[in-house]
Amino acid sequence: YKDTDLVLSIESVMKSFDGFRAINDLNFYLGEGELRTIIGPNGAGKSTFMDLITGRTRPDEGSLIYHQDDGHDMDLTKLREYEINRLGISRKFQAPSVYQQHTVYDNIVLSLNKDRSVLKSLFYRVSADDREFIDEILGTIRLKGMINNLAGSLSHGQKQWLEIGMLLAQQPRILLVDEPAAGMSDEETERTGELLLSLEGKHSIIVVEHDMEFIRQIARKVTVLHQGHVIKEGKFLEVANDPTVKEVYLGR
Ligand code: ADP
Ligand code: MG
């Protein structure tokens, strides 16, 4: 990377819970517009990794630096969760959390301004520019034909895509996605991969996943996490054929 291409620099991070080392000397660099995938068995530290970036968990040691687009660096270890979110770092948890009793369209409108309350958002006047932006998002998540459907009536996969759309409404610079394809049909999984690929270049994205097939489909740089440490980083085949990776992950 050239220095200017980085959005996130994570160096020598340690995190223990009651003496158990969940993250052990973790180093990770995220480039502008990159789509990255992180795999690792259960307990490898994937969710903790996301928690550290979003400020949900504080590291014991090491640094997490966010490189803003104006050139200023922010030390994420000094910020609260909502402050990190305001910097343009949005996270999608594994389970979808949409407003079930509201329409697809309203769910996006509710997310347009993350600082506004739900009540204010419902009375928010959508401008022509907003409308265009919402249309673009609905196209991206392929729910254009369902704008008046209640979110609660959507399939599991559609709810996941809607939630990604809600995050896109916040115009994040970094998007963190935890196991987006969990519980999806093969077709929905494939669509999810396409959706994430279509965001590449517009956002910097980290997808955490334990499903190898999904990682294969996305086919971008893979980082393997094991016992809180990066044991391998590279192209899918390089990683999948690595003896150590096979031993700790694929061979199970
Ligand atoms: P993954 O998401 O890869 O399955 P996690 O990051 O959830 O892994 O967990 C890594 C390890 O850290 C696990 O052994 C887990 O039990 C432990 N851990 C995570 N969060 C906490 C916590 N808040 N308190 C105690 N142990 C935790
Ligand atoms: Mg997890």
Give the model's pLDDT for residue 60.
98
Ligand 1 binding pocket mutation candidate from 48, 50, 179, 248 (most atoms within 8 A of CB): 48
Q: At 21, is the secondary structure helix, strand, or coil?
A: strand
Note the pLDDT of residue 62.
98
What pTM, to 2 d.p., does this model score? 0.93
146 CA distance to ligand 2 middle (Å)? 31
Bridge partners of 58? none
**Each residue of 178-234: pLDDT tens digit?**
999 988 999 999 999 999 999 999 999 999 998 888 999 998 999 999 999 999 999
Distance of CA 229 to the CA centre of its chain: 19
pLDDT value at residue 202: 96
Measure the CA–CA gap between 59 and 128, rounded to whole angstroms.
Answer: 43
Q: What is the CATH number of domain 3-250?
A: 3.40.50.300
How confident is the model over 26-77, as pLDDT tens digits? Answer: 999 999 999 999 999 889 999 999 999 999 999 999 999 999 999 899 999 9
What's the helix, strand, coil split of the chain in %, to 5? 40, 25, 35
pLDDT at residue number 196: 97
Residues with CB under 6 A from ligand 1: 17, 22, 40, 42-48
Closest CA to 9 of 69, 71, 65: 65
pLDDT of residue 252 exceeding 60, the answer is no
Asked casually if ipTM beats, i.e. exceeds, 0.85, the reply is yes
* Domain spans in the chain, listed from the N-terminal domain onward: 3-250
DSSP helix/strand/coil, 240 = helix
As a whole number of angstroms, the distance between CA 214 and CA 201 comes to: 20
Ligand 1: residue whose CA is nearest its atom 13: 43
Q: How confident is the model at residue 79 (pLDDT cuts 50, 70, 90)?
A: very high
- Residue 114's pLDDT is what? 61
Taking the centre of ligand 1 as the mean of its atom positions, its distance from the CA of residue 202, in whole angstroms, is 31
The tens digit of pLDDT for each residue in 111-153 reads 887 666 666 666 778 888 999 999 999 999 999 999 999 999 9
Mean pLDDT score, 101-107: 94
Is 141 in contact with 164 (CB distance < 8 Å)? Answer: yes
Sign of CA dihedral 228, 232, 236, 237: negative
